[in-house]
Structure 1
Amino acid sequence: MWEELLLEAGLNEREVRSILILGSRPKMKASELAKELNTTRLDAYNSLSRLQEMGIVTATADRPMLFSSLRVNEAMEHIIQSRKQQLDRLVGGFEDLSQGITETDASYEKQRRDLDDPRFAVLKERTHIYNRLQKMANESEERLILLLGQFGILHLCRNPDALEAVNTAAVRGVVVQIITHLDGRTLRFFEKLDTSIEVRHSDELDSLGFVQDQSEVIQYLNIEDNPVGRGKEDAALIIESSPFSQAHLHLIDAIWEAAVPLETARARFTENQINDPLRLTIGEGSFLKNVSVALGFDGELPNEDTPFDPDAFFAAGKEVNEARKRLTEGKLSNLKVLGIDLGRMLRQIGNRVGREIAFSLRSIDNDIEFLDEMMDWWEHAGLGMLQYDVDPQFHVIVGLNHPPVSDPDALPMWEMDDGIIEGALSTRFTKDANIVIQRTEGEGTPDNLWHYLIHRHELKAIELVD
C-alpha cells in the first residue's frame, strides 16, 4: 500500500524501492543498494540524487558515501508537506495575478473554442481523465452521457469530485444518462448516483467514454486490466468537435433505445434471472403487399375514371369481404399469408429461454457438467432427450417428444424447443470468438433430429508466393 501511495506521489519504482530498503537498513553504499535493486550503480546514484534533492535521502561525508532514508511513512508525510507548500504558493500567485483579469479576458477561452477548428488531445492516467469529466459536468448545459462499461461506476465513485460534479449537473437540470454493463460486484455503487440520473444496461456495449452536450467527447483508448487499480495505464482521446459529437450521439441514442433500465437488469443478480424485455421479429418483407394479396387485391387502381357501375362495385366489395372472412377463420396458416412467421417468433422465445438457462448455470465452469445439467433440465421439462458425442467431432444431438409435423395450421412449438438449445449453447460457448456452433440435420428420427456441432475455428495465415 505504501508503494502505491509513493508511486501516486510521482516517484518511480526504483525510487520507491530505494526508500523501502534504506529506511529499514540505513548507511548503505550505493553499490550495495544497486545490488539490492538489481540495477547498475549509475541508476542507483540517479535515484539517490533525486531523493536527496527532495530531502528524503541523506548521505555521510565518508568515502565511500553511506546513504540513509526517512522511513516510508515519514517520507510520505514529507512529500505531502512539500506539495502543500508548493500548492499554497501557486494559489497565492494565482490570486495575485487574477485580480487584474476582466470579464472580457475570462471569456476569451470560450470565444476561441467557438471559433477554432476541431481539436483533440490524449489524456493519460485515470486521475486526469476523471478531472476532465468533472470539468465537462460543470460546464454541461443540456446533456451529459457516461459510457461506463463493466467497472466504470467503480472508478467514478472512487473519484468523489467527479461524482459530485455529475450529480450536481443532474440536480441543476442537465439530462445525465449512463450506459453500463452491469456486474454484480458493482451494483451497490449505483446507489451513489442522484435519483434523476437514468441508468441502462447493455450487453453489447463495453467501452468507456463521456459526451458533453454536442461539443466534446472522451473516448478511452486503453484501460488498466486490474479494475481496482489506480489507472496509471489508462489513456483516452478527447475530441472537441461538434460534428463528431453529434455523430457519436446518434450512435449512443441507438444503443440507448435497445438498452435495459437498471431496475430491470438488476434482477439478473438479485433474482438470478433475466427480466429484460424480449423484442421479437414477427416477419419480413412488405406487409402491405402481403395483406393486399391475402385480400385478393393487386393494389392497382385504374388510371382513368370509369362510369360508376353499381353491380361491379358491390361484386368487388363482396370478393374482398369473402377474402377477409377467410382470414378470420382462425387458421395459423392465415398468419403466414399476412407475413407473420410464428416459427421465427417461437424460435426467438426459445433462444431467450436458452439464454436464461445458460445464465442460471453460469457458475458451472466445466462445460461437460454444464451440458449434463442442461440435459437434465431438458428431460425433466418433458421436451425430449439430449445427448452428446465426440465422433467425428464434438456435437449435441437433439431429440424431441413433439417433433415437427407438416400441418400448416399446427403451432410450430418444435421451433421454440430447438431454439432453447440454440440459445443456451450460443450463450455458453460463443463468448470465445474462435468457437463456432453449427446446426446440421440429424438422422430425421424423433430422438435424432438435429446436431449442434461445437468446434474451434483456427485462423491460419495464408502465405502468398510469387
Structure 2
Amino acid sequence: MSWAQVLADAGLNEREIQSILILSSKPKLKASELASELGTTRLDAYNSLSRLQDIGLVTTTADRPMKFSSPPVNEAVEQLIGMKKEQLRRVEIGYESVLEGRTIEGSNIKESRTDEPKFAVLKERVHIHKRIEQMAEEAQTRMVLMLGEYGILALCRGPAVEAVNSAAKRGVRVQVLAKLHRRTVRFFQQLDDAVEVRHSDDVETQGALKDETEVLQMLKIEANPVGRGREDAALYVLSEQFAASQANLIDAIWPEAVPFEQAVKRFTEKQIVDPLRIEIGQGSFLEKLRNALGVDLELPDEDTPFDPDAMIKAGREVSNARRSLSENSLASLTILGFDLHMMMRQVGRRVGEELAFTLRSIDDNIEFLNEMMDLWEAAGLGTLAYEFDPNFHVRVGLNELPETDNSEVLPLWELDDGIIEGALAARYPDEGDVRVVREEGSGEIDDLWRYHLLMQEDEEITAEV
C-alpha cells in the first residue's frame, strides 16, 4: 500500500494528498510553486492549503510571499491517525452523552520543527486544544496558559488538562493566568497542586506559551463558553523572538496578579482579601532622609583626613535628629516622604471597593446608593445624599470638617472620601456606560465633595449644547 492510499483512507482528497507528498519532500514552497507542481491553478492550491492548515498539517513562514511546509509523510499520517482516534473517542462519548447528558472534546495536531519562524491558523476548539495538549507534552521548562474568564471550562473538557498536570508533575513550571468567575472556580480544582494559578481582572485573552519558543493565541472564541467551539480560531506561532516578547508581557502581569488562594475568597468567603499595594510618596527618598537628618550623605570625591571630633559631632547630630523624628510621628512621616493624604485615600478606595463588592447583588442603582447611604450614616461618618440638579450626583458630608491645614492630625477625611470614590469606581468601571466625575463641594460640612454620575446619553446631550 502506498502513502497516497494511506492518506486517502485517512480522509484527504487527491489534491490534498499530492500537496502533502510534495511539501513533505520540498518544504517552503510558494503557493504558485505548489500550483505548478500540482498542475492546477494557484486558487485551487490555496484552497487545499487552507484546509490542511486548519487541521495543522501545513505550516506557513512569515515571508512575502508566504511559503508552505508539511512534516514528513509518516508524521502527517501519525497526526491523522491521532485525529481519527480522537474523533472516534468523541463519537463513543457522544453516544454515552445521549444517555447520560455528558459531552467532551479533543483532537490532534502535530508538525515538524525548524529554526525558521512559522505560523499556522488553527480552526475549531478540538484542534486548538489538541495543540495545547501537544505543547504541554513537549514542554521542558515552562508552560503558561492564559485562560481569560471561561477558558478553564474548555481546558477541563478535553485531554489537554491531563497533559498540563503531567507537565507540572515532571517538573515543568506551569503557570495559569485567569480571570476568576464564581461559576468557574471549582474547575480549577482539576489542576495539579503544582500548577501555579493567579487571578487578574485584566486578563481577557486566551492562549498558551511553551518554553519561550511556541505561542498559541486565540483569535476568535465562540460566545457560548460551554459550546463545542466550531467557530473558534487560533494563531499558532513557532518563533523564539515572538515567544520571548510574549513571555516578557506575561512576566510583567504575573507579579501584579493575585494568587488563587486569595482571589478565590471573593467567591467562598464573599470578601476581597487581595494584597493592597500602597504608593507612599514620590521623589527621592535619599534626599528626603538627608534633609530630615540634616547630614550630607554624599560620598567624597577624594580622600580626606580622618577627624575623630568631626565624626563624633556628626554622630551626635544624627542621633538628635533621629530622636526628634521619633518623638513626632505623623509630622516625621511627612518629612521622610510619606504622603499620608495619598496613603489614606488609597486605603479608603480599597474599603469602598470591598463595600461595592458586598453590594454587587443589587442591580438597581438607586437601591445601591440607598444602601450606601444607610451604611455611611450607620458608621457615623456623616451624610450622603443624591440630587438631580444640574445632573445626577452624590453629595458627600462628614460629621467634622477636615483640618487640612493641621499637619499634626491623621487625614482621615481622605480615607472617608476615598471610600465613596472606590465604591463608585467599582460600581461604575471606566469601560461602562456611566462616567464618575468628582468635584469639590461648597465646603459646608454636608457638601464637601460631589460625585457626578454621567450617563453616556447625558454627555452626548451636553456636548451638543
Q: Shorter-chain-normalised TM-score: which range?
A: 0.7 to 0.9
Would you say 1:286 and 2:280 are equivalent positions? no
Would you say 1:421 and 2:415 are equivalent positions? no
Structure 2 equivalent of residue 407 of structure 1: 406
CA distance in 1 between partners of 2:170 and 2:323 (Å) = 59
Partner SS state of residue 326, structure 1: helix
CA distance in 1 between partners of 2:299 and 2:143 (Å) = 52
Structure 1 equivalent of residue 366 of structure 2: 368
CA distance in 1 between partners of 2:297 and 2:433 (Å) = 49
Would you say 1:115 and 2:115 are equivalent positions? yes
Give the one of 324, 327, 342 matched to 1:329: 327
Give the deviation of 1:306 after TM superposition. Answer: 4.8
CA distance in 1 between partners of 2:309 and 2:186 (Å) = 74
CA distance in 1 between partners of 2:234 and 2:148 (Å) = 14
Write the letter of the residue equivalent to 2:261: E
Structure 2 equivalent of residue 204 of structure 1: 202
Please tell me the root mean square deviation across aligned C-alpha atoms, in Å: 2.6
Structure 1 unpaired stretches of 5+: 1-9, 11-82, 92-108, 461-466
Partner SS state of residue 184, structure 2: helix
Percent identity of the aligned residues?
55
After superposition, the C-alpha distances for 1:122-147 in whole angstroms (9 at most, x for unaligned) are 11111111011011111111111111
Write the letter of the residue equivalent to 2:224: N
Give the deviation of 1:403 after TM superposition. Answer: 3.0
CA distance in 1 between partners of 2:446 and 2:296 (Å) = 45
**Distance of aligned partners of 1:321 and 1:131 in 2 relative to their CA distance in 1, 3 Å threshold:** same
TM-score normalised over the length of structure 2: 0.72
CA distance in 1 between partners of 2:302 and 2:135 (Å) = 64
**Distance of aligned partners of 1:298 and 1:129 in 2 relative to their CA distance in 1, 3 Å threshold:** same
CA distance in 2 between partners of 1:143 and 1:236 (Å) = 21
Write the letter of the residue equivalent to 2:363: D
**Distance of aligned partners of 1:165 and 1:309 in 2 relative to their CA distance in 1, 3 Å threshold:** closer
Partner SS state of residue 396, structure 2: strand
Structure 2 unpaired stretches of 5+: 1-10, 12-79, 89-110, 461-465
- Matches of residues 53-132 of structure 1 in structure 2 within 5 Å? 87=84, 113-116=113-116, 118-132=117-131
- Matches of residues 56-455 of structure 1 in structure 2 within 5 Å? 87=84, 113-116=113-116, 118-159=117-158, 161-300=159-298, 302-405=300-403, 406-430=405-429, 432-455=431-454
- Give the greater-gyration-radius structure (CA): 1
Partner SS state of residue 420, structure 2: helix
Range with greater deviation from structure 2 (301-310 or 384-393): 301-310
Give the deviation of 1:368 after TM superposition. Answer: 0.9
After superposition, the C-alpha distances for 1:57-87 in whole angstroms (9 at most, x for unaligned) are xxxxxxxxxxxxxxxxxxxxxxxxxx99x95
CA distance in 2 between partners of 1:454 and 1:301 (Å) = 54
Structure 1 equivalent of residue 37 of structure 2: none
Give the deviation of 1:315 after TM superposition. Answer: 3.4
After superposition, the C-alpha distances for 1:274-326 in whole angstroms (9 at most, x for unaligned) are 11111111111111010001111244455455555554444333333322221
TM-score normalised over the length of structure 1: 0.72
Partner SS state of residue 115, structure 1: coil
**Distance of aligned partners of 1:326 and 1:200 in 2 relative to their CA distance in 1, 3 Å threshold:** same
After superposition, the C-alpha distances for 1:224-261 in whole angstroms (9 at most, x for unaligned) are 11112111221111111111111211211221111111
CA distance in 1 between partners of 2:283 and 2:220 (Å) = 43
Write the letter of the residue equivalent to 1:411: L
CA distance in 1 between partners of 2:197 and 2:84 (Å) = 38
CA distance in 2 between partners of 1:341 and 1:302 (Å) = 31
**Distance of aligned partners of 1:302 and 1:259 in 2 relative to their CA distance in 1, 3 Å threshold:** closer
